Structure 1
Amino acid sequence: MVWCSRILLRKYGNFIDNLRVHVKGGTGGMGLPRLGGEGGKGGDVWLVASKEVSLKKIKDKFPHKRFVGGVGNNSSVRELRGEPGAVCEVEVPAGITITNDNGAKIGELDKAGDRLLVAKGGYGGSFRTNFTPSTGQKKIIRLDLKLIADIGLVGFPNAGKSSLLSKISHAKPEIADYAFTTVKPELGKIIYSDYKQISIADLPGLIEGAHINKGMGHKFLKHVERTKQLLFVVDVQGFQLSYKTPYRTAFETIQLLTLELQLYKKELLTKPALLAVNKMDIPDAEGHYQELLQQLANPSEHLHSLPDDLIPERPVEFKYVLPISAETGQGIDDLMHFIRKSIDEQAELEIRESAKEKLQSLQTMPSRPRKNKPALRP
Structure 2
Amino acid sequence: MTEGNFVDYVKIHVTSGKGGQGSAHLRREKYIAKGGPDGGDGGRGGHVILKGNKNLWTLFHLKFKRHIRAEHGEHGSKQRSTGADGGDQYIEVPLGTAVRDTETQKILFEVTEDGEEIIVAEGGKGGQGNWHFKSSTNQTPRYAQPGIDGQEVDITLELKILADVGLVGFPNAGKSTLLSVITAAKPKIADYEFTTLKPNLGIVEYREFKTFVVADIPGIIEGAAEGKGIGHRFLRHIERNSTLLFLIPADAPDIVKQYEILLDELRRYNPEMLDKDRLVAISKSDMLDAELKAEMKAILDKNLEAPYLFISSVAQQGLMELKDKLWEMLNKPEK
What is the TM-score when the length of structure 2 is the normalising length?
Answer: 0.86
- Please, which runs of 5 or more residues in structure 1 have no aligned partner? 1-9, 239-247, 300-314, 354-378
Conservation of the 8 A alpha-carbon contact between 2:39 and 2:77: no
Tell me the equivalent position of 2:16. 25
In the TM superposition, residue 298 of structure 1 has moved relative to its aligned partner by 3.7
Secondary structure of the 1:259 match is helix
| Distance (Å, rounded) in 2 between the aligned partners of 1:286 and 1:141 | 57
In the TM superposition, residue 78 of structure 1 has moved relative to its aligned partner by 5.0
Tell me the equivalent position of 1:16. 7
2:45 maps to which of 39, 42, 47:
42
Q: Which amino acid aligns with 2:15?
A: K
| Distance (Å, rounded) in 1 between the aligned partners of 2:298 and 2:258 | 15
1:273 maps to which of 273, 278, 284:
278
Tell me the equivalent position of 1:73. 74
- Please, which runs of 5 or more residues in structure 2 have no aligned partner? 26-37, 134-142
Instruction: Please list the CA deviations of residues 36-91 of structure 1 after superposition, one character each: whole Å capped at 9, or x if unmatched.
Output: 4211111111011224443112224x3xx211221111111155211111111111
Q: Per the alignment, do residues 285 and 142 of structure 1 end up closer, same or farther by CA in structure 2, a change over 3 Å counting?
A: farther
What is the aligned residue count? 309
Tell me the equivalent position of 1:309. none
Q: Per the alignment, do residues 170 and 25 of structure 1 end up closer, same or farther by CA in structure 2, a change over 3 Å counting?
A: closer
Q: Per the alignment, do residues 13 and 285 of structure 1 end up closer, same or farther by CA in structure 2, a change over 3 Å counting?
A: farther
2:164 maps to which of 146, 150, 153:
150
In the TM superposition, residue 296 of structure 1 has moved relative to its aligned partner by 3.8
Conservation of the 8 A alpha-carbon contact between 1:18 and 1:143: yes
Tell me the equivalent position of 2:90. 89
Tell me the equivalent position of 1:59. 63
Q: Which amino acid aligns with 1:110?
A: T
| Distance (Å, rounded) in 1 between the aligned partners of 2:290 and 2:244 | 24
Tell me the equivalent position of 2:199. 185
Query: Is the aligned partner of 1:222 residue 2:213?
Result: no
Instruction: Please list the CA deviations of residues 268-292 of structure 1 after superposition, one character each: whole Å capped at 9, or x if unmatched.
Output: 11100011101111145752x4444
In the TM superposition, residue 191 of structure 1 has moved relative to its aligned partner by 1.9
| Distance (Å, rounded) in 1 between the aligned partners of 2:166 and 2:99 | 22
Conservation of the 8 A alpha-carbon contact between 1:236 and 1:285: no
Instruction: Please list the CA deviations of residues 222-275 of structure 1 after superposition, one character each: whole Å capped at 9, or x if unmatched.
Output: 10101001000001111xxxxxxxxx4112111111111111111111100011
| Distance (Å, rounded) in 2 between the aligned partners of 1:172 and 1:151 | 17
Secondary structure of the 1:164 match is helix
| Distance (Å, rounded) in 2 between the aligned partners of 1:272 and 1:51 | 25
In the TM superposition, residue 218 of structure 1 has moved relative to its aligned partner by 0.7
Superposition pairs of residues 201-240 of structure 1, within 5 angstroms: 201-238=215-252
| Distance (Å, rounded) in 2 between the aligned partners of 1:76 and 1:286 | 89
Query: Is the aligned partner of 1:282 residue 2:287?
Result: yes
Q: Which amino acid aligns with 2:88?
A: V
2:265 maps to which of 260, 279, 292:
260
Q: Which amino acid aligns with 1:263?
A: R
Instruction: Please list the CA deviations of residues 1-25 of structure 1 after superposition, one character each: whole Å capped at 9, or x if unmatched.
Output: xxxxxxxxx6543422111111111
Q: Which amino acid aligns with 1:45?
A: V
Instruction: Please list the CA deviations of residues 202-238 of structure 1 after superposition, one character each: whole Å capped at 9, or x if unmatched.
Output: 0111111111111111111010101001000001111
Secondary structure of the 1:21 match is strand
| Distance (Å, rounded) in 2 between the aligned partners of 1:153 and 1:11 | 19
Root-mean-square deviation over aligned CA pairs: 2.0
Tell me the equivalent position of 1:306. none
What is the TM-score when the length of structure 1 is the normalising length?
Answer: 0.77
| Distance (Å, rounded) in 2 between the aligned partners of 1:15 and 1:151 | 19
